[in-house]
Amino acid sequence: MKHIVKILALVVAITVLWIGLLQTSVISHSYTWLLPIYFVVSLGCYGLLMVGVGLMNFPTCPQEALSPHFY
């Protein structure tokens, strides 16, 4: 449950920041509309990177590979 609260707080913070950028003219209006798309693409790239790192660091057990297992 605590993890959900953290994720929701992050989403709310990003949404407030995005709406604030839409209201002000700090960033060009055409780029501000693309920020959610950039965020989703960045999150996807981060997820793929974490899966790749997890696969590279996957523990191997050579002694288990040699012993026969019958399931």
**pLDDT tens track for 5-30:** 888 898 899 889 888 877 887 777 77
What is the pTM for the complete model shown? 0.54
CB 21 within 8 A of CB 27: yes
Mean pLDDT of all residues in 30-52: 85
Q: What is the pLDDT of residue 13?
A: 92
- Percentage of the residues of the chain whose pLDDT score is greater than 70: 90
Provide the phi-psi class of 68: left if phi over 0, else alpha when psi is between -120 and 50, else beta: beta
What are the pLDDT digits (tens) for 45-65? 998 998 998 888 877 777 766
